[in-house]
């Protein structure tokens, strides 16, 4: 694998400073929490890839079913010259879109953006090797901060897949959708994947699999804090849990302390005490109803042109025009 073409917008020192700020805020709060973006170092990104093929974790398969069926239609409707993918990870499902857009003959550039440099480098190398003549420009960055920097010939199609929009809290979600709308010109496109509300058992199992992969993914955030901030978390002293909050319409992942303990986090200048049974909320993953997501897109200034779901109605994909 050669040196991939990456624009790095996140300086390692800035990343550590951002983690320090998040850890200080979240772990000194009365109800402890951490933002989910810190799962994704090389190990966390690899664990997430394993999650996507678990029998319990339906979102990846359901979304792929839709993209496989609709890629040609997406290409026809948008005529996109640039595909921008936010939170691209391994870009596996993106190949369906790339194939559809290439077949349609309009696409010349692919711009994947991800916080994980390792996942992005692999994706850029693999896509460049497989799509001759396609210009591939990876951007290492945080899609809540680096949206203004997105290159590409118009019209651009911004894809935000996998249901990652669910990781925002509702207020942040509105701000984010508005920020995407603001970087797009009129007549450009947003392809958004949203997981749908369904029964609690299906949802909780999707985030607490029998093989324990999601638990390891969840505990990985503690390893990331150990590595970057010199902390002494013992991940085995935290139990993994998933919890469906029907009122908030989101799944929470939690790490519950198995015993009383004090964790030293020198890089954040704090010691954090845990009581037995106390938990850290490490992720929310909101689930949507079609009318709700339609209204949120409209509020952000988009017009929803297409809405598709998989055969079993588990996952929705919307195509909106700015």
* Spatial distance between the Cα atoms of 216 and 222, rounded to a whole number of angstroms: 10
**How many of the chain's residues bind ligand AVJ (CB under 6 A)?**
12
Candidates 4, 26, 35, 59: give the one binding ligand AVJ (CB under 6 A): 59
Residues in the chain: 322
CB-facing half-sphere around the CA of 72: CA atoms within 13 A: 2
CA torsion angle 143 193 287 222 (round to 10): -40
Query: What is residue 259's three-state secondary structure?
Result: coil
Return all residues near 169 (Cβ < 8 A) that are at least 6 apart.
Answer: 284
Counts of helices then strands in the chain (DSSP H, E): 9, 14
Cβ proximity to ligand AVJ: between 78 and 167 the closer is 167
Cβ proximity to ligand AVJ: between 117 and 241 the closer is 241
160-179 mask for ligand AVJ (x: CB under 6 A)? --xxx-xx------------
Task: Point out the annotated binding site for S-adenosyl-L-methionine.
Answer: 87, 93, 114, 142-143
Q: Least distance (Å) from ligand AVJ to the CB of residue 173?
A: 13
Q: Least distance (Å) from ligand AVJ to the CB of residue 283?
A: 6
DSSP readout, 269-303?
Answer: TEEEEE-TT-EEEEEEEE-B-HHHHHHHHHHTT-E
Query: What is residue 73's three-state secondary structure?
Result: helix
Instruction: Please report, as residue ranges, which positions from 197 to 226 form the binding site for ligand AVJ (by CB under 6 A).
Output: 207, 214
Under the binding rule (CB under 6 A), the answer on residue 90 touching ligand AVJ is no
Under the binding rule (CB under 6 A), the answer on residue 192 touching ligand AVJ is no
Contact (Cβ atoms closer than 8 angstroms) between residue 315 and residue 63: yes
Candidates 19, 51, 86, 115: give the one binding ligand AVJ (CB under 6 A): 51
Q: Least distance (Å) from ligand AVJ to the CB of residue 54?
A: 9
Under the binding rule (CB under 6 A), the answer on residue 267 touching ligand AVJ is no
Cβ proximity to ligand AVJ: between 89 and 267 the closer is 89
Catalog residues that contact ligand AVJ under the rule CB under 6 A: 51, 59, 162-164, 166-167, 207, 214, 253, 283, 285
């Amino acid at each position: 694998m050669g040196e991939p073409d990456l624009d790095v917008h996140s300086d390692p020192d800035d990343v550590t400073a951002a983690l320090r700020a998040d850890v200080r805020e979240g772990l000194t709060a009365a109800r402890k929490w951490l933002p989910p973006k810190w799962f994704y170092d090389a190990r966390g990104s690899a664990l997430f890839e394993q999650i996507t093929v678990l029998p319990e974790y339906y979102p990846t398969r359901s979304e792929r079913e839709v993209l496989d069926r609709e890629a040609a239609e997406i290409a026809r409707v948008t005529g996109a010259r640039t595909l921008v993918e936010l939170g691209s990870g391994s870009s596996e499902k993106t190949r369906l879109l790339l194939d559809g857009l290439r077949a349609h003959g309009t696409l010349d550039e692919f711009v994947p953006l991800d916080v994980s440099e390792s996942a992005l480098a692999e994706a850029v190398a693999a896509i460049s090797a497989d799509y001759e003549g396609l210009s591939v420009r990876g951007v290492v960055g945080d899609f809540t901060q680096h949206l203004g920097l997105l290159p590409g010939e118009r019209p651009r199609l911004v894809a935000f897949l996998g249901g990652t929009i669910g990781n925002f809290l509702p207020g942040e979600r509105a701000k984010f959708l508005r920020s995407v709308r603001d970087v797009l010109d009129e007549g450009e496109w947003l392809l958004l994947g949203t997981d749908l509300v369904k029964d609690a058992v299906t949802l909780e199992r999707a985030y607490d699999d029998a093989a324990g992969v999601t638990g390891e993914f969840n505990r990985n955030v503690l390893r990331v804090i150990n590595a970057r901030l010199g902390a002494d978390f013992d991940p085995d002293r935290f139990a993994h849990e998933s919890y469906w909050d029907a009122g908030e319409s989101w799944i929470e992942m939690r790490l519950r302390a198995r015993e009383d303990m004090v964790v030293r986090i020198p890089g954040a200048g704090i010691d954090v005490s845990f009581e037995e049974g106390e938990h850290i909320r490490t992720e929310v993953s909101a689930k949507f109803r079609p009318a709700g997501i339609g209204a949120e897109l409209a509020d952000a200034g988009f017009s929803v042109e297409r809405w598709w779901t998989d055969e079993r109605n588990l996952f929705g994909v919307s195509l909106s025009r700015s």
